[in-house]
Amino acid sequence: MPSKVEKLKKTTPELRFPGFDGEWEEKKMGEVIAFLKGKGISKDDIIGDGVNKCIRYGELYTEYGEVVQKVVSLTNVPAERSLESKFGDVMIPSSGETAWDIAVASCILEDGVLLGGDMNVLRPSHETDGIFLAYYLSNGSKRNIARLAQGNSVVHLYSSYLRGLKLLVPTLREQKKIADFLGTIDEWIENLKAQKREWEAYKKGMMQKIFSQEIRFKDEDGNEFPDWEEKKLGRVSEINPSSSALPEEFNYVDLESVDKGILSNPIKLQFDVAPSRAQRVLKRGDILFQTVRPYQQNNLFFDLDGDYVASTGYAQLRTKQVPQFWFQYIHSNNFLRKVLSRCTGTNYPAINSSDLKGTHVQVPDLAEQKKIAGFLSSVDDLISSHQEKITRAEEWKKGLMQRMFV
């Protein structure tokens, strides 16, 4: 039989605020929570000038964390056709792609927000804090919730299963203390994200001015650079240069490997099992341009050592000019518009290499290319620095919560 000390360790968190002691109490969710179902509100019901605030279940994945700070959607669906929130309600999706993804909870801090279908709505009793509950379910109990999900291609989470889920919860006073502390951390992280968004908006505005030539750089002596010349892209960059034979082993870059200029998880492959699309042998300074759905702008400036081969889903650009400049240029609004006008296909618009070569571009002097590339790259460095701070802060928060919940 376990000793009193051993039992206490299992029912109290590793990290605790001063002034709180004693065991956390085990309860079933159905004992302290009323279960409701959201209803109504399709994607087509969301309109910019709607009269009612609303939340759809898909937004629990994309828009909100554990606490809904600001409702982003509006609708004209009348309240009687949906479910109106109460302050402190907690929402969990009823369906999703994976069991792990579905195990998320968000607490709403407003009355009267319409809560759409495919959503479990948990209304805590007076002895349970909704914000604490959302943090607890999304972190301390996430694995247990994921185990309750049913299904394969689409998983479902039923309230009847959630009712029996066991929780270990402290007093209401300690719940509020934990919720306030984690809320402060979230505010700090959100401020970091806001700073990053400001730099991203600044860069977007500066790119528009630079590539429209509203802003021009000057040389080291303060003199104007020559006028930009109009040329076809194929004149300033080799498109899909002839490649040497594939290496015996290489890192394969497919369309899933790049997200907004960041390369992650390239696939290590042997030559004899490589897919037929593995054809673009990369050299440092090459640019990969996403030719299918180019508006996603998942392009890559390749600046690595080692053997890498890219999919033919990318166009490979190799220039003798300033490659960093051309990487920035292909993200300009004007260039994207020209590319899209040459694309074929509706659901998956794509541009072929011939049409890409024939796309007209504005070409500055090489010295000005270097100036522009240096300036925009310095802004990119600031954006990356903010993202690193965000990542570290989120990892720190995750580590804390692992120690703050039982």
CATH number at residue 395: 1.10.287.1120
8 A C-beta contact, residue 30 and residue 89: no
Q: Domain check: are 176 and 203 in the same one?
A: yes
Q: Domain check: are 315 and 388 in the same one?
A: no
* pLDDT tens-digit profile, the chain (406 residues): 455 554 444 788 999 999 999 899 999 999 999 999 999 999 999 999 999 999 999 999 889 999 998 999 999 999 999 999 999 999 999 998 899 989 999 999 999 999 999 999 999 999 999 999 999 999 989 999 999 999 888 999 999 999 999 999 999 999 999 999 999 999 999 999 999 999 999 999 999 999 999 999 999 999 999 999 999 999 999 999 988 789 999 999 999 999 989 998 899 999 999 999 999 999 999 999 999 999 999 999 999 999 999 999 999 999 999 999 999 999 999 999 999 999 999 889 999 999 999 999 999 999 999 999 999 999 999 999 999 999 999 999 999 999 999 8
Q: Domain check: are 61 and 145 in the same one?
A: yes
Angle, CA 193 vertex, CA 191 and CA 194 arms, to 5°: 65
**pLDDT value at residue 152:** 83
Please tell me the distance from the alpha carbon of residue 317 to that of residue 302, in angstroms, as a whole number: 10
**pLDDT value at residue 11:** 84
The first and second tokens of residue 288, run together, are 């990969």
Please tell me the distance from the alpha carbon of residue 146 to that of residue 97, in angstroms, as a whole number: 12
Has residue 82 been placed in a domain?
Answer: yes
The domain tally of the chain equals 3
**pLDDT value at residue 243:** 80
Please tell me the distance from the alpha carbon of residue 360 to that of residue 294, in angstroms, as a whole number: 16
Residues forming a β-bridge with 269:
250
Q: Domain check: are 359 and 235 in the same one?
A: yes
- Return the exposure string of 282-314: e unless at least 16 CB atoms fall within 10 Å of the residue's CB, then b: beebbbbbbbbbbeeebbbbbeeeeebbbbbbb
Q: Which residue has the tokens 């070569």?
A: 357
**pLDDT value at residue 3:** 52
Has residue 15 been placed in a domain?
Answer: no
Has residue 2 been placed in a domain?
Answer: no
Q: HSE, CB side, 13 Å, CA atoms: give it for residue 305.
A: 0
Q: Domain check: are 372 and 359 in the same one?
A: no
**pLDDT value at residue 8:** 47
Q: Domain check: are 376 and 393 in the same one?
A: yes
Q: Domain check: are 271 and 155 in the same one?
A: no
Q: Domain check: are 164 and 45 in the same one?
A: yes
pTM of the complete model:
0.83
Has residue 13 been placed in a domain?
Answer: no
Residue 268: CATH number of its domain: 3.90.220.20
Q: Distance of CA 198 to CAs 328, 333, 400, Å?
A: 18, 19, 28
Has residue 255 been placed in a domain?
Answer: yes
The whole-angstrom distance between residue 269's C-alpha and the CA centroid of its chain comes to: 28
Print the domain residue range for 40.
25-169
Picking from 109, 126, 105, the residue whose alpha carbon sits closest to that of residue 32 is 126
Helix axes 366-404, 172-211, angle to 10 degrees: 170
Q: Domain check: are 141 and 183 in the same one?
A: no
Has residue 4 been placed in a domain?
Answer: no
Has residue 7 been placed in a domain?
Answer: no
Distance in Å from the first CA to the final CA of the chain: 21
Q: Domain check: are 374 and 347 in the same one?
A: no
**pLDDT value at residue 9:** 47
Q: Domain check: are 179 and 287 in the same one?
A: no
Has residue 143 been placed in a domain?
Answer: yes
Q: Domain check: are 351 and 373 in the same one?
A: no
